[in-house]
Chains A and B, each alone.
Chain A
Amino acid sequence: MELKQAADFLDGILREQKIEKYGFFLNQSEKQELNIENGEFKLLRTVFNNNTSVNVFLGTKTGSAGGNAMTEEGLRKVVEEAKAAAESASEDPCHDIAPGQGKELYRRGIYEPDMEKFIERIREFLDTVAKEYPEVRIMASIGSFDRWHWLSRNTNGTEFEGIGGQYHFSIEICASDGERTTGLDYTGIAMKTLDQPLIELGDIRRHLEDIRRSIHPETLEGKFEGTLILTPGCAANFIFMTLSNYICDGVIINGTSQWLDKVGEQVAHEKLTITLDPYDERIVSGECGTASGFRSEKVTLIEKGVLKTHWLSLYGANKTGRPVVKNTGSDLVVTPGDKTLEELIASVDKGLIIGYYSGGQPGTNGEFSGVAKNSFLIENGKIKGAVTETMVNGNLGEAFRKIRGISREVLCDGGSVVPYIAVDGIVISGK
């Protein structure tokens, strides 16, 4: 069934069921994916998929159901299941959908891929790596083009439609000198065009350089308190762990957040400004609308270290009496600093530059403890060798209060824009 035909059909059966309040989301997608294993083209994968999701309100009760069958029978089943779920729910007036936002068509990225050119670019990448980085092994690499057409509609009169597509390229690499092999490293990038060689995009070259220099890592002895320079990917991870721990629905509704009453107050160093910006040109396919039906907006969560708002959904906002944030995406934009990465490194007496943090989501107290992967020791302002079996411990909230500096350089990987961030007061320990 075509998308709009399916949407109209859904409207019809929901009205037939006398459901006066609902929202739904329909998506038709296609993926063309090239899989490379150990430098060889191995698998070509084509996926045609659908997604259907219906949220039904019966008074103040709500339930949702989903699936992928965009047929009359499949859509009827989803409506019946959503209605049954709503009938079983508890009364809760905080569940709601956004006020009417009108109609809007969003176009993102590109719609028609050039797969032959993409294969050429991947071949070029493999050849360049083989020539310039002979120690590096491309264990796995995936080049994909994803195309989508989605439509969301609700009974407050909102109808958003999205059409778009993007290329995505990722690598999983290690390095070996014939005797020793490094651990894995990963990176990836989303893009609209194939104008540039893939190796020059995002921070792919840095990952190749770093893994090459990691074949003979050293074990640190003892422990010290020092500086951690978070590479952009790692910084994004730390930022999302922090947002999840301190300002998301769960911890605000629970009342367990340590930033529960900190809106308007300084919670981080004044160098830190964190924005979600789906309209930033460097982001390929930013969020268009939220699950509850708001048009997505640019939102600054932390400005010069001051917490501007909690990051609440409509439900979380209604439940806690706080403002809703009209952005649920991951379009992270961190304002760059005034120092170069080189200057940041030069300012560090002792610490690490960390490529990847291997650790779980900290508890709500913010304490983190994990392994520094793909990381290098910094001593007296200079990068030394790669380290292994090295742990980093600290507290998320404290770490962002003790920012030493933020780099001018930013990583734009098509999904976020993030600089290097150096934080002090981290316990770094070896064996």
Chain B
Amino acid sequence: MLQDIIGSQTGLFADGVQTVLRGHENRSRRVVLLKGNLVQNSRSDSAGINARVNNHGTFGFASIAEYTPEAAEKVIRAATENAIALGKHSGRNLPLPVSAGTGTVPLNAKIVDAEQKELIEMCKTVDGYIEKKYPDLTSRTVVYYEDSQDRIVYTSDAYNGHLVTPRCYVFVMMSAETKDGVPVELFKAFGGFGSFYDHFSDPEKLYPGIDELYKKLMDKKEGVYAEAGYKTVVLGSMMGGMLAHEAVGHTVEADLVRGGSVAGPNLNKRVASDLVTMVDFAHTYNGTPAALPVFLDDEGTRAEDVVLIRDGILTGYMNDRESAAEYGMTPAGNARGWTFADEPIIRMRNTCILPGKNTVEELIASVDDGYYLIDSGNGQADLTGEFMFGVTCGYEIKNGKLGKALLDTTVTGIAFEMLKTVDMVSDKVEWSSSGFCGKKQPMAVGMGGPHMRCKITIGGR
């Protein structure tokens, strides 16, 4: 883990500007077993230091792939020079955002490293279980993936602190063939925040999830295409999380609001049914740690929750310090960079629609003719809130009961229209955190949600 060797350089911060100095290390570990063949076996550690200077709305940033006091000095000087140099070409002249407080945020966790040998052995154990128990699969892939971020932040007028975000996952992918010889696939992610030893010391704990995945794949082998059109559906928690992140979350990032997103003219207006409340949680959900806790951002803002939609009314945006000043809001710690070479930009943390009062069974039983959409492989949305989610796992619902499984399909809609059709929300939330959000830089984010009954456009052949 990073040692604090940069704090002594804050004396080099220039007067009259806002400066943030960040030491940052990223680690990754990867093992891939493809049908039992070890096709990837790698690890990497990259560290460096950066400085960002805000000179009245014109920003300078510099980074070096070294983590030393000398590198800290160089990047502070270079970022200050960049801010001044760009100021000659920029018409920006904004007041510097006021300080939201100063202090120190303590280290939140530790990064514990496992040897590559342990990672490989665990993957082999899991792969061996699948190979032995399910010999009829046409293919299987077991992936161990781990990444961690370790950052130390010093600021001129905000909080300093040390934050680590380790996460690790096992992805299991299975393939089978339909009776017509057409391949079908499913995958599942296990793991979350923490180290290898937190999640994978006992591989047998993965077996029930693997068994469930196999069962769903066998259902999918007999699957049918969805009928294209505007349908009543029950969105599973993973789909709800994707919706919260992609279709709503991005439109309420203040930099995209400034660019003209649909959230701009809708602040304080109804954008969803009154069953919908959505929050970007900083570090704690319901008294327990959030999927990927964030205590401090890369501008030195102490992280707080942001209520984005309350009872169907759009109530807030996610901000950095500059946009918060522009919109008259309070920054809550959303400005983050992925590596030492990345400047902080507005990112989600743990975005979630809050649970309601119904059970999942009640939601399914209430649908005469529709679909239960469980898992998504990917999703995208744009400024208008028009979204697309790939559906990798789902079932028909006929007369309140689950029917045949679905082959891969896609759903689409306009978020603020679709959310107004939500008329039942389940009482439990599930989280996922294995994905990356892409927005100039990648970022690890958590997303979650309950089951929701709503209307949505589904693709089909």
Contact A255 B461 (CB under 8 A): no
Q: Does B37 contact A (CB under 8 A)?
A: yes
**Nearest residue, chain B, Cβ from A70:** B65
Contact with A along B44-67 (1 / 0, CB 8 A): 111110000000011111111110
B62 to chain A, nearest CB (A): 4
Measured between alpha carbons, how far is A137 from B259 in the docked complex, in Å?
8
Measured between alpha carbons, how far is A290 from B183 in the docked complex, in Å?
30
Measured between alpha carbons, how far is A173 from B57 in the docked complex, in Å?
22
Contact B255 A65 (CB under 8 A): no
Contact A361 B378 (CB under 8 A): yes
Q: Given A256-B183, A365-B183, A369-B459, A64 and B42 touching (CB < 8 A)?
A: yes
Q: Does B383 contact A (CB under 8 A)?
A: yes
Measured between alpha carbons, how far is A361 from B380 in the docked complex, in Å?
12
Report B-chain residues with C-beta under 8 Å of the C-beta of A49: 48, 63, 65, 341
Contact B388 A358 (CB under 8 A): yes
Measured between alpha carbons, how far is A80 from B34 in the docked complex, in Å?
26
Contact A391 B384 (CB under 8 A): no
Interface residues of B in 44-98 (CB under 8 A from A): 44-48, 57-66, 78-79, 82-83, 85-86, 89-92
Contact A174 B35 (CB under 8 A): no
Measured between alpha carbons, how far is A249 from B34 in the docked complex, in Å?
10
Contact B82 A44 (CB under 8 A): yes
**Nearest residue, chain B, Cβ from A48:** B64
Contact A119 B89 (CB under 8 A): yes
Contact B260 A139 (CB under 8 A): yes
Contact B383 A254 (CB under 8 A): no
**How many residues of A are counted as interface, with CB atoms below 8 angstroms from the partner's CB atoms?**
81
Contact B65 A89 (CB under 8 A): no
Contact B459 A429 (CB under 8 A): yes
Contact B61 A183 (CB under 8 A): no
Report B-chain residues with C-beta under 8 Å of the C-beta of A86: 41
Report A-chain residues with C-beta under 8 Å of the C-beta of B92: 40-42
Q: Does B382 contact A (CB under 8 A)?
A: yes
Q: Does A370 contact B (CB under 8 A)?
A: yes
Measured between alpha carbons, how far is A37 from B39 in the docked complex, in Å?
42
Q: Does B330 contact A (CB under 8 A)?
A: no
Q: Does B408 contact A (CB under 8 A)?
A: yes
**Nearest residue, chain B, Cβ from A71:** B66
Contact B386 A388 (CB under 8 A): yes
Contact B63 A47 (CB under 8 A): yes
Q: Does A315 contact B (CB under 8 A)?
A: yes
Q: Given A84-B116, A88-B120, A364-B183, A393 and B58 touching (CB < 8 A)?
A: no
B193 to chain A, nearest CB (A): 24
Contact B409 A369 (CB under 8 A): yes
A338 to chain B, nearest CB (A): 32
Contact A427 B86 (CB under 8 A): no
Q: Does A327 contact B (CB under 8 A)?
A: no
**Nearest residue, chain B, Cβ from A39:** B91
**Nearest residue, chain B, Cβ from A431:** B230
Q: Does A399 contact B (CB under 8 A)?
A: no
A183 to chain B, nearest CB (A): 4
Contact with B along A80-93 (1 / 0, CB 8 A): 01001111111010
Q: Does A181 contact B (CB under 8 A)?
A: yes
Contact A371 B412 (CB under 8 A): yes
Contact A65 B89 (CB under 8 A): no
A225 to chain B, nearest CB (A): 10
Q: Which of A46, A119, A258, A373 contacts B382 (CB 8 A)?
A: A373
Report A-chain residues with C-beta under 8 Å of the C-beta of B390: 359-360, 369-370
Contact B116 A46 (CB under 8 A): no
Q: Given A38-B258, A66-B44, A370-B388, A44 and B59 touching (CB < 8 A)?
A: yes
Q: Does B7 contact A (CB under 8 A)?
A: no
Measured between alpha carbons, how far is A85 from B37 in the docked complex, in Å?
15
Report B-chain residues with C-beta under 8 Å of the C-beta of A427: 228, 460-461
Contact A68 B65 (CB under 8 A): yes
Q: Does A50 contact B (CB under 8 A)?
A: yes
Q: Which of A41, A81, A88, A364 contacts B175 (CB 8 A)?
A: A364
Q: Does B43 contact A (CB under 8 A)?
A: yes
Q: Does A123 contact B (CB under 8 A)?
A: yes
Contact A389 B413 (CB under 8 A): yes
Contact B42 A63 (CB under 8 A): yes
Report A-chain residues with C-beta under 8 Å of the C-beta of B139: 254-256
Contact A182 B384 (CB under 8 A): yes
Q: Which of B46, B117, B378 contacts A87 (CB 8 A)?
A: B117
**Nearest residue, chain B, Cβ from A53:** B44
Interface residues of A in 110-165 (CB under 8 A from B): 119, 123, 137, 139-140, 142
Contact B120 A393 (CB under 8 A): no
Q: Does A213 contact B (CB under 8 A)?
A: no
**Nearest residue, chain B, Cβ from A41:** B90
Q: Given A137-B259, A364-B185, A42 and B65 touching (CB < 8 A)?
A: no
Interface residues of A in 65-113 (CB under 8 A from B): 65-71, 77, 81, 84-90, 92, 94
Contact A319 B37 (CB under 8 A): yes
Q: Does B115 contact A (CB under 8 A)?
A: yes
Contact A431 B457 (CB under 8 A): yes
Measured between alpha carbons, how far is A123 from B390 in the docked complex, in Å?
40
Contact B228 A429 (CB under 8 A): yes
A233 to chain B, nearest CB (A): 15
Contact with A along B372-403 (1 / 0, CB 8 A): 00000111101110101010100000000000
Contact B383 A45 (CB under 8 A): no
Contact B47 A68 (CB under 8 A): yes
Interface residues of B in 407-429 (CB under 8 A from A): 407-410, 412-414
Contact A363 B408 (CB under 8 A): yes
Interface residues of A in 167-203 (CB under 8 A from B): 172, 174, 176, 181-184
Measured between alpha carbons, how far is A381 from B43 in the docked complex, in Å?
54
Report B-chain residues with C-beta under 8 Å of the C-beta of A140: 259, 440
Report B-chain residues with C-beta under 8 Å of the C-beta of A342: none
Q: Given A44-B60, A358-B388, A391-B459, A254 and B78 touching (CB < 8 A)?
A: no
Measured between alpha carbons, how far is A182 from B386 in the docked complex, in Å?
10
Contact A254 B46 (CB under 8 A): no
Q: Given A363-B185, A391-B412, A393-B460, A137 and B65 touching (CB < 8 A)?
A: no
Q: Given A44-B86, A85-B41, A370-B388, A389 and B457 touching (CB < 8 A)?
A: yes
Q: Could you jot down 13 A-B contacts, CB within 8 Å?
A: A38-B259, A43-B58, A43-B86, A45-B61, A64-B42, A68-B48, A90-B37, A174-B259, A181-B261, A255-B138, A319-B37, A360-B379, A431-B229
Question: Besides A66-B42, A389-B412, 18 other CB < 8 A contacts?
Answer: A38-B259, A42-B86, A43-B59, A46-B63, A48-B64, A49-B65, A67-B46, A68-B47, A69-B47, A86-B41, A123-B89, A254-B139, A254-B175, A255-B139, A365-B183, A393-B410, A393-B459, A429-B228
